[in-house]
Amino acid sequence: MTVSLRPPAHSEELKVSFPQEHVILLTLARPKYLNAMTPQLTSDIANVLCWFDDEPSLWVVIMTGEGRAFCAGADLKAWHLAQSKGQATEQESVASSLHGFAAISRRHTSCKPMIAAVNGPAYGGGVELILNCDIVIASEGAVFALPEVKRGVLAAQGGTFHLYHAPPLHTLVIPRLAKIAGHQLASEMLLLGTTITAVQARDRFRFVNTVVEQSEVLSAAFDVARQITSNSPDSVQSSKEGLILAQKHHFEDTVRTHSLSLVSKRLYGGTNIKARSESFASSLSFQYKRKPRWTNPAKL
């Protein structure tokens, strides 16, 4: 399956691989700089994710970092360069953004699951990236911080990253963190700029699903991806769309919009649900049913 997959050309700042069927692994590859985000790396991620969204045979994406850090946020050298050129367009960038920090933090156009395999520290935009992932696996040594207040900037789009000469960025980190952790705990991270541990991120702030040993981060992420891909991709993607819509609408509007969406139409009219219904009908009992063989979803 993976032999025929040809992702878009990208720089050495991003590594792309296919560790198992239906899964793509994106590795931030700037370990010397703690995988700090550059305009080039953002462009690479954006192009690969757009291709991923349109590739029917890929159902799950995993994000991780190379070396001892996951992502240290924005690359300050690029920020200083933008500042020296007078490229300070913060408000315009916020208003016109599409996908946010690293082309991920505000990415609401994809119904395919995204897993963060957090191998080490995540700061600023690195945390914002994580907050928009569906499942977060963190190493026990990982730490998280939104230190923008200590630098005189705002945790609204990767801190200073919006000043780059790059596509405008924006994220919903403040309302999203408040919704996940609650007002008081979100205030603790945003107003104090303090660092929290992986266990705290899981147990108190609730944006980490699982904490594992450093050596097990990727294997744990692969296991979660394997569980996801054992399910119907039509059902999984429709379920994620429902979660995305729930962030935007009230209950009734969410139900109505979701039920009438193209993704739901594909689910109910697709080959996977028909094949599964036929399998149930032909089985003597539930316990003897054959394991389903899901097919790639049709393109929307």
Per-residue pLDDT of the chain (300 residues; tens, 9 = 90+): 445 899 999 999 999 999 999 999 999 999 999 999 998 999 999 999 999 999 999 999 999 999 999 999 887 776 566 666 665 555 555 455 556 666 676 667 789 999 999 999 999 989 989 998 999 999 999 999 999 899 887 776 533 333 333 333 334 678 889 989 999 999 999 999 999 999 999 999 999 999 999 999 999 999 999 999 999 999 999 999 888 878 777 878 888 888 888 888 888 888 888 766 655 544 444 555 667 889 999 887
How high is the pLDDT of residue 86? 62
Q: At 20, which helix (H) or strand (E)? A: strand 14-20
Q: What are phi and psi of 168, to 5 degrees?
A: -60, 150
Q: 175-179 long-range contacts, Cβ below 8 Å, gap at least 24?
A: 176/131, 176/132, 176/247, 177/131, 177/146, 177/205, 177/207, 179/247
The per-residue pLDDT for 75 is 77
Please list, in sequence order, all residues whose beta carbon lies within 8 angstroms of the beta carbon of residue 190, skipping any fewer than 6 positions away: 146, 149, 155, 174, 177
Distance CA 218, CA 211 (A): 12
pLDDT at 275: 67
pTM of structure: 0.86
12 is annotated as an active-site residue: no
252 given a catalytic annotation: no
d(CA 47, CA 16): 12
Give residue 268's pLDDT.
85
Identified catalytic residue from 13, 66, 148, 241: 148
Instruction: Pick the catalytic residue from 128, 216, 241, 278.
Output: 128
pLDDT value of position 41 = 93
CB 250 within 8 A of CB 225: no
Taking CA atoms, 169 is separated from 71, 80, 101, 144, in Å, by 17, 17, 6, 21
Question: Three-state SS for 243?
Answer: helix
Which residue has 């059902």 as its token pair?
235
Backbone dihedral angles phi then psi of residue 196, each to the nearest 5 degrees: -120, 155
Bridge partners (DSSP) listed for residue 80: none
φ, ψ (nearest 5 deg) of residue 13: -75, -15
Cα–chain center distance at 169: 15
Taking CB atoms within 8 Å and a gap of at least 24, the contacts of 274-279 are: 276/232
Q: What pLDDT score was predicted for residue 167?
A: 33
Do the beta carbons of residue 144 and residue 120 sit within 8 Å? no
Residue whose C-alpha is closest to residue 13's, from 39, 25, 5: 39
Give the pLDDT of residue 274: 76
What is the per-residue pLDDT for 20? 97
CB 254 within 8 Å of CB 127: no
Residues 13, 128: Cα–Cα separation, whole Å: 19
The pLDDT, as a whole number, for residue 67 is: 97
